[in-house]
Chains A and B, each alone.
Chain A
Amino acid sequence: MSHMLINKCGDIFKNRCRALAVLAVCLGFLAWGGTARASGVEITIKSGFDGRCKLGGLNPVVVVIEAVGEGRKGVLKLKAGERTYSVPAELERGARKAIRFSIPFFGAEERIEAAFEGEGGDQVKAGHTPVILPERTIFFGVLSDSPKSLYFLNDLDTSGLGGGRAAVVELDRQIPYSLDELENINFIIVEDFRTGELAGSKARLLEDWVALGNCLLAGAGDSAHKNLTGLLAGLREPLRHGDGVMVPVAGGIAGSTPESLRDVVLKHVTPYSLAMAVKGSGLQRRAAGAAKMAGAAGGAVRPERSGLYLIFSLIILYVLAAGAAALAGKRLKWAFGAVVAFFCLFFLGLSLHGGIFKAVAGGAGVRVHGPVSRTYALTCVYPHRGDGARIKISCASFASAQGASPEADALSREVYCPGRTGHYIHSSSYEPGGAKCIVLTAGGDGVISGEIINPLPYDMENCFMIIGDTVIPVGKMGGRERLSVKYSQDHNLRGAGDYNYLDLLYRAAGVKDQRRHLIDYYFYHVDDYRPGGRLIGFARESAEVEINGAGRSFRRTVMNVFPIDIRAGDGSLSLPPEVVRPVADCGPAEEGGSWREYSGGPGGELKLYYVMPPGLEPAEIAITGSPGAGENSVSVYNRAAGRWEALGPEILAGERLRPYLSAGPLALSVRSGARVLIPQMAVKGVEHR
């Protein structure tokens, strides 16, 4: 448009136009700068750990707002990708305020836009482009007074950990992170750091992080007197804590070479930690898959059968009373009207009590019990009135709403959902201090025996156990009920593919309808690599939700997954296939792999890592699925020689086994044009406890 105008005009006028345009832009800038000063708020944004964020994880973002002139009141809005967060903020004159957000990044190009909206409607904006590293980057979180001495970790060879690039990030020494933010850190390195000076809550946070299944390395060299204090005091040997491990590195970490440290990491890596390195935190996968629980969450909102029966019986009563009153005759002229009025009032009273004038909620979820229990839930809320609802789920560390662009309040962890229809909110939470592990004994004759317990104080329905490739139906278990188990393994799940496997589980456990979706969600979307068996059961529990500021308790159907440790009866242990679950790596694109099958197509390669349970010295390993047969080629990594070797159908045993296991998890590589079942392994060995 402006071009056309300029072309029409003469040269002189053209120059004038330009001058005018320049002047207008200058004036615009002046005016813009002026409003920013008048608003008197300065916004600074910092993101990530040491300036680096991880894709697909919850990252800390700190927004500092400062009132330059007089005090200000308003709302701080933060936009990252498609997600909006808002926090009410009040600033005294000249005050600075740092507001922490926990933000997931789902795209590598995402930008953060912050805006302070004053009460007068004025706005101050600021933008920030975070450095977002790929999901498979291996973060070495460093707690150190001299972090530069640890930068050599950037050159660590990570081919045994999924091959993502290593990145050293300096952690804030106060550890102002939440547990789910710390989940982005794959390994924490403590070197030249006064661990004992950590605040109690922060030390507990580190412990919980380890207990989840992570690996902490502490230098036991020159700075051992600093490092090995507080929660690390007296650490001489690698110490198991929960599902994770704390490892002292002799000679200190700063003095190590990348190779020697890689060996330490590979030797002690836990399946959880390995899965986090290879597959990332899976936050997005879980949030996307949470829709599977929608049916079960909706089912929990559904009126109970007993409630319907009550209403039926009241209707029958009404019919009888109305009929009697209507046919009563002349003496009771007004009886019919009175009965109608009475029942109207009665139903009205009942509905006030029963809560039809309140919002309705229900939920479903999967809880993986362990030293730190993880709960992934979907809550379904039907607000009573008004357009939209502010929904806050108690003890949720991450909440996201499905559907129309929700807004989240970062501080109170509320999610705002517009509209009056049902809202579905996915949330996840961690609860430290979980139930004790169930222990069963595996005899040499394939008989599993021992005592299982329902650790919950309430009933669990449709219980079943999965021990390796055997599913054992248990049925209903009362609260804290103990059951003696003696079951000869019949390997009824052996060789089952994705769908077949779930179907066998459904039938064995007698699970119907929506509960099946919870099982589906657990197996496909929740990473649970702890070696051992599982006891799975469904329970109804009461949960709390806050809708528009009013508390409301609701029913939630939760699938509880308890770990089962399998011990040897007489010192020699025989683990059936699938007790040690492999961590599967199908490459950065995660193509072709599912939970039990792989179909990578030509050129695809599947790498599998089998982490031996602690305390087990394997003597014999048999790989199922006849490796080397047909079109598959399976190779195993010889850690001693540093090369891949073709693997036939033979059993690895005795001395032959040593080079594959000596310095890290057993690694297999599968190349296949066709669809294959992921190979599983049966282990025989000696147990050292």
Chain B
Amino acid sequence: MNAAGNFHTGGENGVLESLYVAVLSFMLAAYMILVVSREEGYDPGLYRNAYVYFMVFDLILFSLFVSFWETGGAAQGKAYLLRAAAGVIILAASPAPLILAIFLAGRINPANFMLPLMLKAVWGLAVVCLRDFLEAVKPGWRWNGFLTGFFIFSVLVLSGLLAFFLTEYRQAVITTLYDRDMPGALFLNPLLSLAGLVYCQAGGGSQAGLDPFYTCLLFWGLAAAALGTAAVKIPGGAGRG
């Protein structure tokens, strides 16, 4: 990565972007061919499900991809956070045409897909900032990549498992994702939070309104801002470039 610090340099980011869009498109086309075109009648629920599955799959794939997103490092100073944010937002927004295609194919009422995309972007930015923060603290340390990956894994998967065990332990009856019996802190997991949101949008119920979603959005927004600012402020933060 060159020191000019462009958020977008054609190289690795280009590969990420094109691969990301291609994988999502493939997944959508597969759903359309395998599920939708085999159905006999018309069931709008099928397309709402497509939206839910697509968004969840998208977040998982995005978390994987975004940890490799080149930002140019925190060394570029004040412009760093802005540039990183712009790049991550564009990557996060790139499935938007595909989501619209789901609505178009199913002729269903469009859900407000900007909300989940915002959460995705904020979460992605937090991941990128964490990685660059680690890089600024200890440049070139071989555990940096591992720590970032483990962080994503623990937030997305381990907390999800924790939620599962907790509800089993309490013998709670979970009727919907945003359930009162789920500890609120678990909704800091963006996967749970996003799934709950799109489930609501697709006609499922919610017992807590959209509060868990906004809490999650705010939390990761603040986390990203804090990590990013910290990375820039660290003296001698050399970045990865």
- Interface residues, chain A, with chain B CB atoms under 8 Å away: 294-295, 298-303, 305, 307-308, 311-312, 314-316, 318-319, 322-323, 326-330, 333-334, 336-337, 340, 343-344, 346-348, 350-351, 354-357, 360, 362, 380, 382, 384-385, 422, 513-514
Contacts and interface: CB of A to CB of B under 8 A. Distances in A.
Interface stretch (B37-45, B129-137, B146-154, B162-170): B37-45
B94 A382 contact: no
Interface in B153-206: none
A360 B25 contact: no
Given A329-B10, A340-B90, A301 B97 contact: no
A357 B108 CA distance: 8
A228 to B, nearest CB: 55
A326 B6 contact: no
A226 B109 CA distance: 63
Contact of B100 (A305, A329, A344): A344
Given A323-B17, A340-B90, A347-B100, 12 more contacts: A298-B41, A298-B43, A299-B40, A301-B42, A315-B25, A315-B101, A316-B25, A340-B96, A347-B97, A350-B104, A356-B103, A356-B104
Contacts of B96: 340, 343-344
Given A360-B107, A384-B109, A326 B13 contact: yes
A404 B12 CA distance: 57
User: Which of A300, A322, A326, A344 lies at the interface centre, i.e. has the most chain B CB atoms within 10 A of its CB?
Assistant: A326
A298 B106 CA distance: 13
B25 A355 contact: no
Contact of B110 (A308, A311, A357): A357
B97 A513 contact: no
A295 B40 contact: yes
Given A298-B41, A336-B90, A344-B97, A322 B18 contact: yes
B14 A328 contact: yes
Contacts of B9: 330
Contact of B22 (A323, A384, A385, A514): A323
B106 A348 contact: no
A423 to B, nearest CB: 12
B98 interface: yes
Contacts of A308: 32, 36-37, 105
Given A312-B29, A312-B32, A347-B97, A362 B22 contact: no
Nearest to B47: A303
A605 to B, nearest CB: 42
Given A298-B43, A316-B25, A347-B104, A336 B94 contact: yes
Contacts of A327: 10, 14-15, 18
Given A318-B98, A336-B90, A514-B40, A330 B107 contact: no
A384 B29 CA distance: 25
Given A298-B41, A336-B17, A328 B109 contact: no
Interface string B94-124: 1011101101111111100000000000000
A328 B17 CA distance: 12
Interface of B: 6, 8-10, 13-18, 21-22, 25, 28-29, 32, 36-37, 39-44, 90, 93-94, 96-98, 100-101, 103-110
Given A322-B18, A344-B100, A356 B6 contact: no
A298 B28 CA distance: 23
Nearest to A385: B109
A330 B90 CA distance: 16
A327 B93 CA distance: 18
Given A347-B104, A385-B109, A318 B21 contact: yes
Given A330-B9, A330-B10, A347-B97, A354 B107 contact: yes
Contacts of B43: 298
Contact of B6 (A330, A340, A514): A330
B105 A311 contact: yes
B42 A299 contact: yes
Contacts of A298: 41-43
Nearest to B2: A330
Contacts of A295: 40-41
Contacts of B6: 330, 333
Nearest to A348: B100
Contacts of B42: 298-303, 362, 380
A321 B110 CA distance: 25
A355 B18 contact: no
User: Which of A301, A340, A351, A355 lies at the interface centre, i.e. has the most chain B CB atoms within 10 A of its CB?
Assistant: A340
Contacts, number: 128
A307 to B, nearest CB: 7
A335 to B, nearest CB: 9
12 contacts: A303-B42, A315-B97, A315-B98, A319-B18, A326-B21, A327-B14, A330-B9, A336-B14, A340-B94, A355-B107, A356-B104, A514-B41
Given A330-B9, A513-B40, A322 B21 contact: yes
Contacts of B10: 326-330
A307 B105 contact: yes
A166 B65 CA distance: 82
A644 to B, nearest CB: 50
B17 A326 contact: yes
A327 B29 CA distance: 23
Nearest to A334: B8
Contact of A303 (B8, B90, B94, B105): B105
B108 A356 contact: yes
A248 to B, nearest CB: 53
Contact of A322 (B17, B44, B105, B110): B17
Contacts of A337: 90
Contacts of B37: 305, 308
A340 B93 contact: yes
Contacts of A336: 8, 14, 17, 90, 94
Contacts of B103: 351, 356
A307 B101 CA distance: 11
B97 A346 contact: yes
A346 B101 CA distance: 10
Nearest to B108: A356
Contacts of A360: 44, 107
A382 B100 contact: no
A343 B98 CA distance: 9
A326 B107 contact: no
Contacts of B16: 326
Contacts of A422: 44
Given A308-B37, A333-B6, A333-B8, A326 B108 contact: no
B19 to A, nearest CB: 8
A354 B44 contact: no
A641 to B, nearest CB: 57
Nearest to A514: B40
Contacts of A329: 10, 14
Contacts of B108: 356
Contacts of B106: 303
B97 A340 contact: yes
A312 to B, nearest CB: 6
A316 B96 CA distance: 14
Contacts of B36: 308
Contacts of A357: 109-110
Contacts of A318: 21, 25, 97-98
Nearest to A305: B37
Contacts of A305: 37
A48 B143 CA distance: 88
A311 B90 contact: no
Contacts of B100: 344, 347-348, 351
B18 to A, nearest CB: 4
A315 B43 CA distance: 22
A326 B9 CA distance: 9
B181 to A, nearest CB: 27
